Structure 1
Amino acid sequence: MRIIVPMAGMGKRMRPHTLTVPKPLIPIAGKPIVQRLVEDIAKVCGEQVEEVAFIVGRFGTEVEKSLVQIAESVGAKGSIYYQDEPLGTAHAILCAKESLTGPVVVAFADTLFKADFTLDSSVPGTIWVQRVDDPKPFGVVKLDEQGHITDFVEKPQEFVSDLAIIGIYYFQDGDYLREELQYLLDNDIKDKGEYQLTNALENMKNKGTVFVPGRVTEWLDCGNKDATVYTNQRYLEYLQERGENLVAASAQLTNSVLIPPVYIGENVIINNSVVGPHVSIGSHTAVRDSVLSNTIVQQSATVLHANVTNSMIGNHATVTGKPDDLSLGDYNVVRV
């Protein structure tokens, strides 16, 4: 089994946080989004993951080393491929064509999920979906009476289905997928100006490939600041349900209260503060004389005399004062 992770996007909706790191490396409950995604997929695969292939922009060697380590953490080889132009989902996946062989899971790195199942590798293809109130921003599927997928529609402006594709796919035959993606590029077949995976899926379905919908218990989006803060909230609750220890032994708490669920990283210092619920604090961060709730604080940050909620605070950032709702990038300083 191989996992293919396209993640070359610039993450403009997550700025300023993506000015210094790619969006998939932003932490959720102490681990990068993409690490959470890879670990969760590895758990449901039901077999050993041989390789994790990441399709990236030119993010630099340190990011690439981090990604290889994520693959190695699930016992797999890590491979790096580049997408230098944003030409669509089909083009992104095809950038890793050397790894498109055998059974593969394709997972776009801006979504997490909660699920209690094991992947059924006996079916030709599985497309994970979730029912949504407004399907217009998503690719959607239509089903027949047998529950098989009959149509793939990219961002329908008129209602055809409310089953949104969440960005996770299983293909029993990665070589066949590679051929169909290459066909789109060779014949310049685009939808809305880009090479779309849904067009390849439609062609495969028309040639007899049976795709079935996979259902997840919960779909967690990381597309913008508010969505990412909410995903952190739900993921902390999920980890608490699993009984995981979320507070590092090296954390130093003085005259402070933690309201779970919270994640507290290594060597965090918390003095005279109330932290939680739904707060993640990265390693080497200091919080003093403050109240934090529903917030992500990354590594080596400082929060002083502040009341912070529904916020993201970047690496090495400093907050001093009384702001309530923040989206503060790396190395920024706010004093009120």
Structure 2
Amino acid sequence: MKIIIPMAGRGSRLRPHTLTIPKPLLPIAGKPIVQRIVEDFNASFSGEIEEVAFVIGDFGKEVELQLKNIAALIDAKCSIYYQDLPLGPAHAIYCARESLSGPCIVAFADTLFKADFHFDATEDGLIWVKQVENPASFGVVKTDADNIITEFVEKSPVFVSDQAIVGIYYFRDGDDFRSKVEHLIDNGIKDKGEFQITSVLEIMKNNGTRFRKASIEEWLDCGNMSNVLETNRRILELKENTEELVSPSVSVHNSRIIPPCYIGANTQIRNAIIGPFVSIGSNCIVENAVIENSVIQNDAQIRHASLTASMLGNQSEYAGIPKALNMGDYTSFKG
């Protein structure tokens, strides 16, 4: 099995946090979004995941090293491809065409999920969906009584279905999928100005591929600051009893930790109340502070503060006035 992960977008709605790293590498409960996706599939799939192929922009060597380390966590080969122009999701997959062979999973690294990803690998294909209230913003599917997909529609202003495609797909025949993606690109077949994966799926369906609908329990958005905080809260709840969320090397003095919280290695907590629903990265210093419902990345320093619903980037410093914050990497504030 191969996993193809398109993640070339920068995530403009999450700036300033995505000025230095792509959105899929933002930490949620202590792990990058894309790492959680890879680990969830590895835990669910009964066979071997032999390769993880990432499609990225020009993010630099440090990001590429992080991605190689994520693939290494599941003993998989890491392949890295580049999408230079934002020509649509099918084009992003096309950039990784050299890895599209045999059974493949395509997973867009924009969101997290609560789902059972065990599946029957003998199916022609599976499309994971979630019922939504406002389907006009999504690609959707129509199905028959046996959950076989009868139609794919991309962001229709007229109601077609409320079963939204969440961005996870399984193809038993990756070679056939690749040939249909190449057909789309070679013939300039666009929908709404971009090369859409729903167009590829419709071609495959019309040529005899049988796609079955698979459902997820929860679709956890990471599109903006408030969504990240809500997703961080939910993942902390889900992982509280299955992951070691507080590192043994955390130093806690005259402080209270209200679970669930994630606190990374070598972080120092003094005279503080932390939690609930707080994630603090590694090598941070938190003194004389009250923090709840917030995400703080690595090497940050927070003193004399009361924070809620806040995000602070790597190597940021804050001391002073209580308020909701949205601070990027390498930012300092002293009130």
Same-fold call, TM cutoff 0.5: yes
1:21 aligns with 21
d(CA) in 2 for partners of 1:2, 1:323 = 47
The question of whether the paired residues in 2 share the 8 Å contact of 1:42 and 1:74 is answered with yes
1:70-89 residue pairs with structure 2 within 5 A?
70-89=70-89
Tell me by how many angstroms 1:122 deviates: 1.2
| Structure 2 gaps, min length 5 | none
Q: What does residue 300 of structure 1 align with?
A: 299
Within 5 Å, give how 1:81-160 maps onto structure 2. 81-160=81-160
TM-score where L is the length of structure 2:
0.98
Corresponding position of 2:238: 238
- 1:112 is aligned with what amino acid? L
Deviation at 1:34, TM superposition (A): 0.6
Aligned length: 335
- The one-letter code matched in structure 1 to 2:236 is L
Maintained 8 Å contact 2:45/2:117 = no
What residue in structure 2 maps to residue 258 of structure 1? 257
2:293 counterpart SS class? strand
Q: Which runs of 4+ in 1 moved over 2 A?
A: none
Q: Which residue of 1 aligns with 2:45?
A: 45
Q: Distance in 2 between matches of 1:206 and 1:299?
A: 49
Is 1:46–1:119's contact at 8 Å kept on the other side of the alignment?
no
Shift of 1:113: 1.1
- Deviation string, structure 1 residues 25-68 (Cα, Å, up to 9, x no partner): 11011111111111111112221100000000011111111101
In structure 2, the residue matched to 1:181 is: 181
Shift of 1:184: 0.6
SS in 1 for 2:129: strand
- Cα distance, 1:334 vs. partner? 2.3
Give the secondary-structure state (helix, strand or coil) at the position aligned to 1:220.
strand
Q: State the 1:117 CA deviation.
A: 4.5
Task: Provide the residue aligned with 1:222 in structure 2.
Answer: 222
Letter in 2 for 1:310: A
Determine the C-alpha separation between the residues in 2 that align with 1:22 and 1:334: 24
Equivalent position of 2:311 in the other structure: 312
* Separation in 2, partners of 1:221, 1:120: 27
User: How far apart are residue 313 of structure 1 and its match?
Assistant: 0.6
Kindly indicate whether the alpha-carbon contact (under 8 Å) linking 1:104 and 1:170 is maintained by their aligned counterparts in 2. Answer: yes
| Separation of aligned partners in 2, 1:182 and 1:306 | 54
1:280 equivalent in structure 2: 279
**Is 2:190 the partner of 1:190?**
yes
TM-score (norm 1): 0.98
